[in-house]
Chains A and B, each alone.
Chain A
Amino acid sequence: MSVTPDPVTAGAAARAQVRLRVVIAEDTVLLREGLRRVLTDAGLDVAGTAGDADQLLQLVEALRPDVVLADIRMPPTQTTEGLQAALEIRRRWPGTAVIVLSQHVETEHLFELLATDPRGIGYVLKERVADIAQFTGAIRRVAAGESVIDPEVVSRLVARPRRDSPLQTLTERELAVLALMAEGRSNQAIAGQLHMSPKTVETHVGSLFAKLGLLPAAEDHRRVLAVLTYLRR
């Protein structure tokens, strides 16, 4: 599975001619500057860059960007400064979308992030920056209030061996839909990606929710959390 720009939100942003204002926090200078360049080239407004968490918080306070891009590991302790800063930003400026860049596939940090409010949250493996189109697409989706969960994280959760789990009763199609839901996709995006009609996607969603015993969730971000929590059990 791959992250493709969501046609709906990308289109909407393009139509609105909004230049998203982005702040980048990354301690490796080369990467930071590379990111600034590709994002600017992709039509985003890189309002500022930070080399550590304190700097990032100051920048966010000063610039109030639409999206914050933060490496999880940053100086001084090189552990989870970026994650802590992201949580802080969500607490203090709830409207700010945040994508954390991780080098782990572990779900612990992801759930820490989602626990606050999955809207406008992204958890993406750092290497995704190589696919510039996908990556900018992810930024736009998060800015539009969607959740973006790295497909590798989701696929690991979906592929986990299980015993006596209702997951085993899902059809291949339903599983694919489930995975895309877990990545934070809307029904419309899933339909586009799986080449189905939105109606079919809805049917699949309804049936797999029933099979898993989950309450149907109207909003996509609630759906993400419900599905991920289910998968992580």
Chain B
Amino acid sequence: MSRRLLAALIAGAAAAVGCFVWSSWPPPSRYAPIEISFAVVGLSYMVAGIAAWQRWPASRLGLLFSIVGYLYLVPYILINLHNPVAFTIGYLTETPLYFAALAHLGLAWPSGRLRSRFECGVVIADYAQLVVFSVAGTLFWNPAFSGCNARCPANVLLIGDGSRPAWNTLGTIGEYVGLVISGIVLTLIVLHWRSARGWSRRAMVPLLWIAPAVAAETVLTGGLGGLFNFSDLVRYALLPLVLLAGPAVFVISTVRARTAGGALGTAIVDLEPGASPTRLREALARALGDSTLQLAFRQPDGAGYLDTSGQAVEVVRPDPGRAVVPVAGSDGAVLVYDEGLRLEPQLVKLTAAAASMALEHSRLQAEVQAQLEQVRASRARIVEAGDAERRRLERDLHDGAQQRLVTLSLALGMARDRAAGADPELGLLIESAGKEAREALTELRELARGIHPAVLTETGLAGAVQALAERSPVATTITAVPDGRFPAAIEATAYFVVSEALANVAKHARAGGAQVTIQSRPGRLVVEVSDDGAGGARAERGSGLRGLADRVASAGGVLRVDSPPGCGTRLEADIPCP
């Protein structure tokens, strides 16, 4: 809104209230509450008008609020001017016209536009009937009928001395016509509420609550108020305060929009990382207060857009009552929202930005996840390749060097037997050569076993772990080990855990005994090695435990080390196992 218009509106409101106070000053103490009430109600609509204009420059709501405010206050100013013309115009417009403006406002809520020609007709008819009945009534109204004698200025439109019955009759007919129109307006508002969805429906709710109250107020302060025995104070000072509900609806809608802005931020922060588009849509819809919000994605084959529930969404020409905003930075994602939100472009922008951020986050998350997956897979492959290489090495040693040494030993044995009789010295020499060969064999056997335990490949974990326990320098018992076979990588990892753990026990733990438990649980293999030694083992300190943790991690598992000083060490590897 331009500054000049804003200034004009503020000046207008100030002038109106100023005039109101000046024209009725000093107020007779009886009327003071009534006049304060009038001033407050009129001013509240003027202020709401300025604020609404400010907030929704393109909408007529600001104008409508202002009109209600002026129509409410100006007649009283005119009446109090003690000028016959002003007095007559004031009387003409006194009660009724702001009714029509209120009905107009109610029907135009929340967009500021009337929804149909019919509704335009209803509003025009309302204004028209009020003008007609009030002009007609004024023709017959002698101010004396209303109890103001010489103090009142003259009614310049009065025909003759007026006619009380004609004035009364016209007034009553006007009341009833007004009643019918109020009913129509209320019905229309209920229909608006029922047909609205999402944001618009939420916007209609407060109006739905206050509309009957305001309608009742207009009826009760009008002629029908006479049916009840209200005191003037109630009828003219307290009841009009109900009208404050109008600006209140505006305040509620403003607060709601502000809250939604904050809630969007919170929703995005609270959204779990990598949340699905469905979750994102739910979070945004909840924060925004538009349950109809759709998050739709362009289909790769150009087959239009699908929302998160798999529904096709028309994006180029959205359905009536729907509007579309693209989500920046995303590959063809759009938000489809309730058209009522067009009034809150900031909110729409904020929602789109939040969606964009979350989608981008998810995309990055997925990318990192994919990279992590790749790194995991390549790590597992590296370990497996290492294992395979060790198996190959062990086999080469076995088939090559070990066999040759055995053959050599056999040949030396034969040579020794031959030489023993003929040349004892040679026999001894050959004997010592044979001994060397046997020692070489023993060393080679241990070397080969260290490179890769053949018994693991040949018989599986049970045999291999049994062998580890048998050769452990610390008394080791096996409480459980599954007999079945597992994938080679998993067997190798489990074996490595037991082997390293027992080596650590022997080296560092100063333990009297160790215990190995391997259990096959659904989807995983749990390897546990515990001892009763010194404890205090830490993964950071020894590269052994670190290497073990790496090895377990390469199989996608977790290594837990529980080693309080003085209380032994418990090592548990949890290895996923299909």
Interface residues of A (CB under 8 A from B): 28, 30-31, 34-35, 37-38, 41, 73, 78-80, 103-109, 112, 126-127, 129-133, 156-157, 160-163, 232
Interface centre among B410, B414, B441, B463 (most CB of A within 10 A): B410
Give a binary string over B546-563; 1 marks a CB under 8 Å from any A CB, 0 the rest.
000000000000000000
CB of A186, distance to nearest CB on chain B (Å):
26
Q: How far is the CB of A230 from chain B (nearest CB, A)?
A: 13
Instruction: Please name all residues of chain A whose beta carbon is closer than 8 Å to the beta carbon of B286 when the two chains form the complex.
Output: none
Chain B residues contacting A38 (CB-CB under 8 Å) are 410, 413-414
Known: A38-B413, A109-B459, A127-B438. A104 touches B475 (CB 8 A): no
Q: Which 4 A-B pairs give the minimum distances between C-beta atoms?
A: A108-B463, A130-B409, A130-B413, A106-B455
Of the stretches B176-184, B310-318, B396-404, the one at the interface is B396-404
Across the interface, do B402 and A103 meet the contact criterion of CB distance under 8 Å? yes
Q: How far is the CB of A200 from chain B (nearest CB, A)?
A: 30
- In the bound complex, do residue B449 and residue A104 qualify as a contact, i.e. CB atoms below 8 Å apart? yes
* Chain B residues closer than 8 Å to A73, beta-carbon distance: 398-399, 454
Do the beta carbons of B406 and A126 come within 8 Å of each other?
A: yes
User: Any chain A CB within 8 A of the CB of B319?
Assistant: no
Give 30 CB contacts A-B under 8 Å. A31-B406, A31-B410, A34-B411, A34-B414, A37-B414, A73-B399, A78-B398, A79-B454, A103-B402, A103-B445, A104-B445, A104-B454, A106-B453, A106-B455, A106-B463, A107-B470, A108-B455, A108-B458, A108-B462, A108-B463, A127-B405, A129-B410, A130-B406, A130-B413, A157-B470, A161-B472, A161-B475, A163-B475, A163-B512, A232-B466
7 additional A-B pairs beyond A34-B411, A38-B414, beta carbons within 8 Å, are: A34-B407, A105-B445, A106-B466, A130-B406, A130-B412, A132-B410, A163-B475
A-chain residues with CB within 8 Å of residue B475 when the two chains form the complex: 160-163
> Which of A78, A104, A108, A162 lies in contact with B466, CB distance below 8 A?
A108
Q: Report Cα–Cα, A120/B537, bound state, in Å.
A: 49
* Contact between A129 and B406, CB atoms less than 8 A apart: yes
Nearest-neighbour CB distance to chain A for B525, whole angstroms, equals: 19
A160 surroundings in chain B (CB, below 8 A): 470, 475
Known: A78-B399, A79-B458, A130-B434. A107 touches B467 (CB 8 A): yes
- With both beta carbons as reference points, the residue of chain B lying nearest to A233 in the complex is identified as B477
Q: What is the CB-to-nearest-CB distance from B411 to chain A, in angstroms, rounded to a whole number? A: 6
Q: How far is the CA of A80 from the CA of B405 in the complex (A)?
A: 21
B441's nearest neighbour on chain A, judged by CB, is: A127
A151 to chain B, nearest CB (A): 13
How far, in Å, is A42 (CB) from chain B's closest CB?
Answer: 9
State whether B467 touches A106 (Cβ < 8 A): yes
Contacts of A37 in B (CB 8 A): 414
B471 an interface residue at 8 Å Cβ cutoff?
Answer: yes
Asked if residues A31 and B437 are in contact (CB atoms below 8 Å), the reply is no
Chain A residues whose C-beta falls within 8 Å of the C-beta of B474 in the assembled complex: 161
Instruction: For the complex, give the distance between the alpha carbons of A104 and B458 in Å.
Output: 12
B398 touching A108 by the CB < 8 A rule?
no
**B402 and chain A: residue at smallest CB distance:** A103
Say how far A227's CB is from chain B's closest CB, in angstroms: 15
Q: Mark B445-485, 1 if CB is under 8 A from A, else 0.
A: 10011000111011100111011001111111000000000
Rounded to whole Å, the gap between the CB of A175 and the closest CB of chain B is 17
Tell me, yes or no, whether B417 is within 8 Å of chain A by CB. Answer: yes
CA distance A157 to B398 in the complex (A): 24
Cα(A156)–Cα(B449), bound, Å: 15
